[in-house]
Structure 1
Amino acid sequence: MITIDVGSVADEDELHALLKRELGFPDFYGMNWAAFWDAITGLVRIPEHVRFVGWGQLAERVPHGAEMLGRALDDYRAEYRPEHLVERV
């Protein structure tokens, strides 16, 4: 399991930088939602269990980013890894 604290993220650029660092994305990561999808479906294998701490604060400060991240991870689980667990606390 990996825990990622998103509670202090202020914008989508910061969110992408955090995801890049914590999930081990390559230097050429494009810092957008299409690139996020490409990264999790073909470039890196994200941990079996990902726990996001501070999700409520992220949803308040960066609603589009929280929605896109949640949707991408839900789609990833549905299409590629049904056993993948994401917690949003």
Structure 2
Amino acid sequence: MSNKRESMVTIDISNVQTANELHLLLKEKLEFPDFYGENWDAFWDAITGLISMPNKLVFIGWSGFEKKLPSDAKIMKQCFIDYNEEFPTLKCDFFFNYHEN
């Protein structure tokens, strides 16, 4: 796992229509390896052992995303909560209800 931590990463999920699109966007923005499996188990493995999470992660368009893909929104949010509980020294502040200006 890389020691380099970005201070903040912003991900615009307002146009995401499918879980696959979400995983591809997460892969790109969080710099997951090419072999990322594009599912929630692979996501957990990536954030807990393959990459360094940023200090702050901001999601733009969360409320619309949550309406389109409620189960994926719930799973992703729980992954981040679990991450901060399991890795308190690597805590990442997550902003899910960020509103566009």
Q: TM-score, normalised by structure 1?
A: 0.95
Q: Does 1:84 align with 2:100?
A: no
The gaps in structure 1 that reach 5 residues or longer are none
Q: Work out the CA distance in 2 between the residues paired with 1:63 and 1:5.
A: 17
Cα distance, 1:69 vs structure 2: 0.6
Cα distance, 1:81 vs structure 2: 2.9
- How many matched pairs? 89
Q: Work out the CA distance in 1 between the residues paired with 2:53 and 2:88.
A: 10
Structure with greater Cα Rg: 2
Structure number with the higher helix fraction is 1
Q: TM-score, normalised by structure 2?
A: 0.84
Cα distance, 1:39 vs structure 2: 0.2
Map of 2:54 onto structure 1:
47
Map of 1:68 onto structure 2:
75
The gaps in structure 2 that reach 5 residues or longer are 1-7
Map of 1:21 onto structure 2:
28
Q: Work out the CA distance in 1 between the residues paired with 2:84 and 2:17.
A: 26
Contact kept in structure 1, 2:11 and 2:58, CA below 8 Å: yes
- CA shift digits 1:8-57 (9 cap, x unpaired): 10010000000000000000000000000000000001101000110001
Q: Work out the CA distance in 1 between the residues paired with 2:42 and 2:88.
A: 19
How well do the aligned residues superpose, as a CA RMSD in angstroms?
1.0
